[in-house]
Amino acid sequence: MTFPAILFMIIGILCVLYGIAVFLIRSGTMFYAVWLALGACFLLLGFLARIRFYDRLPKILKALLLIAAAAVILLFIICEGFVLRGFGSRAPEGLDYLIVLGAQVREDGPSAVLKYRLDAAVDYLKENESTLCIVTGGKGEGEPLTEGEGMKQYLTAQGIDPARILVEDQARNTVQNIQFSKQLMSSPDASTALVTNNFHVTRATALARKQGLTNVYAIAAPSDPVYLPNNMFREFFGLTKDFLAGNL
């Protein structure tokens, strides 16, 4: 068996195993299926490499396949570079608002992704007592209550005055998180920080500026390093989708 065939098959198996791992943590999305599909594609490439299918193709088709593969890889690298730029984002003191972007709420409380965001918001709110906090997110499938209300309960339990917490409970995605939160603000020019996980900062900030927030920062909350590849990969598709939809 050739080296490319072995390499493709190893990558394929790893993608399938990782997709299963993402599924088992109940991440709240179907994105694990992308890893399964990617694994299947690499396994197919391994089989094709084993039978030397590529060598039989016409030269022009070989060239087109190489160009297409190079273009996709280059686009992926560029997008991930932008994502990585947001990892160290911090906000200045004394902002008017924090907007904590929604994520899955479970029966036992916020998901791990959301808890990272809320803990980062708690740290800032305790140090900046004049800052108001907007928690945003509607009720998704399988959630016991709206994400906004679940976040308010968590923040209150951490000692944040409920009077400082504004709840938006209708949003279904990040664009709506920002649109609906903007309606609760005194002005789109108010100083504001989005609180979200590090992998999500770049896209969220770009969406906020597109929605007319003129004085916006971000606070990059941590994320689970084991599942960071899944979230980074998903952001590639998120950035591409929002760019094509005109949201960025």
- What are the structural domain ranges in the chain? 3-85, 97-244
CA geometry: angle at 144 spanning 101 and 201, to 5°?
Answer: 15
pLDDT of 143 reads 86
Which architecture characterizes domain 97-244 according to CATH? 3-Layer(aba) Sandwich (3.40)
Report the C-alpha gap between 113 and 137 in whole angstroms.
Answer: 14
- Contact between 95 and 191 under an 8 Å Cβ cutoff? The reply is yes
**Three-state secondary-structure class, residue 98:** strand
Strand runs labelled E in the chain: 97-100, 105-106, 109-110, 132-136, 165-168, 192-197, 216-221
Residues facing 193 on adjacent strands: 98, 217
Report the C-alpha gap between 248 and 245 in whole angstroms.
Answer: 8
- pTM of the predicted model as reported, rounded to 2 decimal places: 0.87
**Three-state secondary-structure class, residue 130:** coil
Query: Please, how many CA atoms are within 13 Å of residue 246, restricted to the half-sphere of its CB?
Result: 0
**Residue 99 structure tokens:** 């907007």
pLDDT digits (tens, 9 = 90+) for 162-206: 999 999 999 999 999 999 999 999 999 999 999 999 999 999 999
Report the C-alpha gap between 241 and 236 in whole angstroms.
Answer: 9
pLDDT of 56 reads 87
- Of the pLDDT bands very low, low, confident and very high (cuts 50, 70, 90), residue 28 is low
